[in-house]
Structure 1
Amino acid sequence: MANESERREQILELVRRQGFASIEALAQKFQVTPQTIRRDINDLCRKALLRRYHGGAGLPSSVENLAYQTRQVLHLAEKRRIARLVAEHIPDAASIFINIGTTTEEVAKALMEHQGLRIITNNLNVAGMLAGKADFQVIVAGGIVRARDRGIVGEAAIDLIRQFKVDFGIIGISGIDLDGTLLDFDYQEVRVAQAIIANSRKVFLAADHSKFGRSAMVRLGHVDQIDALFTDAPPPAPLGDALRAAERELFVAAAE
């Protein structure tokens, strides 16, 4: 029988696949009481991972992302493994775009041991981390600073990014549809990410397993526009097929 943490993870994956699960069906599946399932669902709803409905739980809104503070701690160990793997594929003295996101912030931390990097970013958290390294050159995009995550969006940010052609674009994402569509919640943020993709010689997408099959309203692009996906678990079969059809590389950070 799964422990509490494993059961809640499995409940979350089940709801992501089905869109909705009843308390009764979950209690039967996991051989626990309905009261136990209600506690599980309440915990997942407090973390904004699920939404309570009468008799069960479904997915949260596809138009609003989780709070930044929640995303900072969610799957943190997996994000750090992914970040170290991405950093291994970045040579010293490279030029890099890094966009908004908690996973890309972990990548920035993992790059601190590199030498001579040139970084253009629309993420003030990333800029603050990397600007302290004397041999790094950090360029910050102008534009509107969002209070919730210190990300910079808007036309000024896009205009600055379009002035460069860099070696690597490192981007995060809110969701990857199983057909390979890249999804996010914020139209302005997506436009900046699209500019990064268009102006990078190689594009690395860093996304943990919770992004597979996750719904979000705004279409960013498709996996055929990236060069490699860095994640912490093998993707579901349809997404794996989409990556192979597009001849894109897949790197999975093994558990320690």
Structure 2
Amino acid sequence: MALSFRQSEILQIARAEGRVVVEDLAQRFEVTLQTIRRDLADLAEAGHLDRVHGGAVARTGVANIAWESRRRMNEAAKAAIARACAAAVPDNSSLILNIGTTTEAVARALLNHQNLTVITNNLNVATILAGNPACEVVVAGGALRRSDGGLVGELTTQAFAQFKVDIAVIGTSAIDADGDLLDFDLAEVRVSKAILGRARKSFLVTDHSKFDRSAPARLASLAEIDAVFTDRPLAPDLARKCAEWGTALHVVGA
């Protein structure tokens, strides 16, 4: 299939961000929603994307490129978010870090912490924290997702059931206007739910690109999160809800 210029651009965005949203693309290219839906249908039929509610996600076969691109996206913001999160993590504590490029940034920000125990289903996090001799690293077993070094599945969920930690640090693929954390992979969602259930406190690390995006699987609500570390303020209505829920908001500059 020969791709049009717009379809090639859509594919590049999907590979960089992991997913695309119909409304965002229609606004970006100044075309109708129906036109974008046809483009996504063509790309899915050609094997480049998988359709999901409201948009499409990159195929696993190209996900290694997508992961590297995602890691570079908003890199300065992620580093600032990570530093703020790490500053809230005391020495002599236990943590769980899940899958995501922002949680990997948190791992780098923890390299000088002392006497940490970190349990993770992210091989990249484990590799980063191997550079901190004062950190004990435990890798939760499971099925390897080659696209990003994540471990998922029932074995991973069972592994986390063995622990109770001080802090869980998680990322998310999307946050909607109601404050729901959303993702694309049901297996990852099940693991992340288990992680939240095994922590005394929960921190969400997310850059502004996740605001108002859409994904089909619900992970949790911001009402269940103790603190959010991000680079731009939340929408006023959602910020008010967080205040009512007791969810602390930490907005940092890149």
TM range (shorter): 0.7 to 0.9
Does residue 93 (structure 1) correspond to residue 92 (structure 2)? The answer is: yes
Report the 3-state secondary structure (helix = DSSP H, G, I; strand = E; otherwise coil) of the residue aligned with 2:127: helix
Change (3 A) 1:196 1:57: farther
The equivalent residue for 1:197 is 196
The equivalent residue for 2:44 is none
Deviation of 1:236 after TM superposition, in Å, equals 1.2
The equivalent residue for 1:238 is 237
The equivalent residue for 2:105 is 106
The equivalent residue for 2:43 is none
- Code of the aligned partner of 1:127: A
Change (3 A) 1:254 1:135: same
Moved >4 Å (runs of 4+):
39-45, 49-55, 57-63
Report the 3-state secondary structure (helix = DSSP H, G, I; strand = E; otherwise coil) of the residue aligned with 2:57: coil
Alpha-carbon contact 1:232-1:254 (below 8 Å) kept: yes
Q: How does 1:38-187 map to 2 (within 5 A)?
A: 46-48=12-14, 50=20, 56=31, 61=52, 62=55, 64=57, 67-187=66-186
- Code of the aligned partner of 2:13: K
Report the 3-state secondary structure (helix = DSSP H, G, I; strand = E; otherwise coil) of the residue aligned with 1:219: strand
Report the 3-state secondary structure (helix = DSSP H, G, I; strand = E; otherwise coil) of the residue aligned with 1:213: coil
Percent identical residues = 44
Alpha-carbon contact 1:177-1:239 (below 8 Å) kept: no
Alpha-carbon contact 2:186-2:217 (below 8 Å) kept: yes
Q: Mark the runs of 5 or more structure 2 residues left unpaired by the alignment.
A: 41-51
Task: Show CA shifts across 1:119-170 (max 9, x none).
Answer: 0000000001112322211000011011110100011111111111100000
Report the 3-state secondary structure (helix = DSSP H, G, I; strand = E; otherwise coil) of the residue aligned with 2:111: coil
Task: Show CA shifts across 1:34-86 (max 9, x none).
Answer: xxxxx999756522265666962768854526821221111111111100000
- Code of the aligned partner of 1:236: A
The equivalent residue for 2:224 is 225
User: TM-score, length-normalised on structure 2?
Assistant: 0.79
Whole-angstrom distance in 1 between the partners of 2:81 and 2:192:
19
Report the 3-state secondary structure (helix = DSSP H, G, I; strand = E; otherwise coil) of the residue aligned with 2:131: coil
The equivalent residue for 1:10 is none
Alpha-carbon contact 2:97-2:120 (below 8 Å) kept: yes
User: TM-score, length-normalised on structure 1?
Assistant: 0.78
Aligned length: 218
- Code of the aligned partner of 1:78: A
Alpha-carbon contact 2:172-2:206 (below 8 Å) kept: yes
Whole-angstrom distance in 1 between the partners of 2:117 and 2:204:
19
Whole-angstrom distance in 2 between the partners of 1:242 and 1:181:
12
Q: Mark the runs of 5 or more structure 1 residues left unpaired by the alignment.
A: 1-38
Report the 3-state secondary structure (helix = DSSP H, G, I; strand = E; otherwise coil) of the residue aligned with 2:115: coil
